[in-house]
Amino acid sequence: MLIIFSTMFLHEYTLEDIMRAVELAEYDGVEFWVETPYFWRKRYELLSNLINYTDYIKAVHSAVIDLNPCSINSGIAEISIKEVLYSINVASILNSPLTIHAGKRSANRKPVEEDYISLDRYLRIVSNYSNIKDVKILLENSEPKINHLCKYAEEIEHFCKKYGFSFTFDINHAVKLGKVEDFLRLSNLIENLHVSGYDEEGRHVALDKSNRIIDTLIQLEELGYDGLITIELDDLGYGKMSFKEKIEELKKERRVVESVFRR
């Protein structure tokens, strides 16, 4: 089992500072979001340098900001898929698993058959290219919003089994949906946990904000989960924080996870 954290919590810092934070907060590594700004702004220049961070980067998260691979706008859908394919290339360089999002219906309404046809096309492309690049794909359960695809366990199970993907289980999303038990049934598919509490706006914040999150971690430990555990925090839920304050918050969250999994 490895305890890592999402690089987006330290979005305002260089890659060097983020990797230094791994040591200062005593983590096993990071989940590298390709959209971490320092990298994203100079990604073609810095791409070859990523190999220098393989000791730190244990997982990769695909591009998702401003993107929707299932958009009814074909231009948006195509650029979104291209960015996920770029993320697969990054994961290949780092020899790391890649977490992807499913996308959503463009309108703020429940998904319909057309949206699932788009999702199937997207995932088929991802599956084919990831097989070529020898990258393991982890499909994440989505935020419980009306138009989001793959927010339910049965959707995750269907597409993971259809395309040979594994599962990134975002506990925050499942708890807000009220369907944790449905996802625990898929424990054999889980290879990464996204772990956080949530505030009144649903943002990813400290674990102690939700007892249900801790209860779910205990259930996963009892089920024998031994994969990646990713602390995923959103600093917008905290207010302005210094580098030192972020390190201390990461340490605190790590200790909570260790109290469950390393008893």
* pLDDT score, position 263: 58
pLDDT tens per residue across span 44-58: 899 988 999 999 999
pLDDT tens per residue across span 226-245: 999 999 999 998 989 999 99
Question: Beta strands 137-140 and 166-170: pairing type?
Answer: parallel
* pLDDT score, position 202: 77
Which domains occur in the chain, in start order? Answer: 2-261 (3.20.20.150)
pTM for the model stands at 0.95
Dig out the tokens for 27 from the structure: 């983590």
More confident residue, 199 or 221: 221
Instruction: Please tell me the distance from the alpha carbon of residue 159 to that of residue 145, in angstroms, as a whole number.
Output: 19
* pLDDT score, position 210: 77
pLDDT tens per residue across span 127-179: 999 999 999 999 999 999 999 999 999 999 999 999 999 999 999 999 999 99
* pLDDT score, position 200: 79
- Mean pLDDT computed over 90-97: 97
* pLDDT score, position 205: 86
* pLDDT score, position 198: 84
Tokens 């983590």 locate to 27
Residue whose C-alpha is closest to residue 124's, from 158, 85, 161, 163:
163
Question: Beta strands 57-61 and 204-205: pairing type?
Answer: unpaired
